[in-house]
């Protein structure tokens, strides 16, 4: 696996906004679902 370092610019409020916009809720849901299935967790 590759490690990525991300540089977030702006003040703290702008950085929080950037992090919040990084992954859309549907994409996050799908990624978590796939991870849970791979681990045999959940339904």
Q: Which two tokens stand for residue 11?
A: 């003040």
Query: Residues 12, 20: contact at Cβ < 8 Å?
Result: no
Tokens 């703290």 belong to 12
**CB atoms inside a 10 Å sphere around CB 11:** 8
Please give the pLDDT value at position 39: 92
Please give the pLDDT value at position 14: 94
Please give the pLDDT value at position 11: 95
**Cβ-Cβ contacts under 8 Å for 10 (sequence gap 6 or more):** 18
Please give the pLDDT value at position 12: 93
For residue 42, is pLDDT > 80?
A: no
What's the pLDDT tens digit per position in 2-39? 666 778 899 999 998 988 888 888 888 998 999 999 99
List the alpha helices (DSSP H) in the chain: 12-21, 25-39
């Amino acid at each position: 696996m590759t490690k990525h370092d991300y540089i977030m610019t702006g003040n703290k409020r702008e950085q929080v906004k950037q992090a919040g916009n990084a992954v859309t809720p549907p994409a996050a849901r799908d990624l978590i679902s796939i991870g849970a299935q791979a681990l045999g967790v959940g339904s």
